[in-house]
Structure 1
Amino acid sequence: MDKDRRGFLPIETNWFDRLFISIVLWVALSLFWLRFIEPLGLSIWISVAISVALAIIIVKRG
């Protein structure tokens, strides 16, 4: 059933692959946030919330 479903990722993935992609994206976004955005005064927790939302989308629909 999961094999027939097509997501928006350009590769064939299972749930673990999509979870791994989400974790890598979370780390990259956090590093970007700490370097460029947090000095402007925005908290890192905003980045965490964005990462969790993206992870849910990627794991469910990716």
Structure 2
Amino acid sequence: MSQERTGFLPIETNWFDRLFISVVLWVALSLFWLRFLEPLGLSIWIGVAISVVLAAIIIRRG
């Protein structure tokens, strides 16, 4: 009797799907950061760190 693991994503995914979603999220966040937040003086590296944390959460628990 196998129990399926369910994550917080509303679709059935494997690790590669979650990796792809994380990369798309990273690109979107980077573009948002460069357009709106970097002109205010915030470094892009903060956005990259946020993206890495979100990617780890999505890949691990998504």
Aligned sequence identity (%): 82
Per the alignment, residue 32 of structure 2 pairs with 32
The structural deviation recorded for 1:53 is: 0.1
Amino acid at match of 2:32: F
Cα deviation 1:28-58 (Å, max 9, x = unaligned): 0000000000000000000000000000000
TM-score, scaled relative to structure 2: 0.95
Larger Rg: 2
Alignment RMSD (CA, Å): 1.2
Q: Normalising to structure 1: TM-score of the pair?
A: 0.95
What's the counterpart of residue 51 of structure 1? 51
Gaps of 5+ in 1: none
- In the alignment, the residues of structure 1 paired with residue 48 and residue 23 of structure 2 have an alpha-carbon distance, to the nearest angstrom, of 11
In structure 2, runs of 5+ residues without a counterpart are none
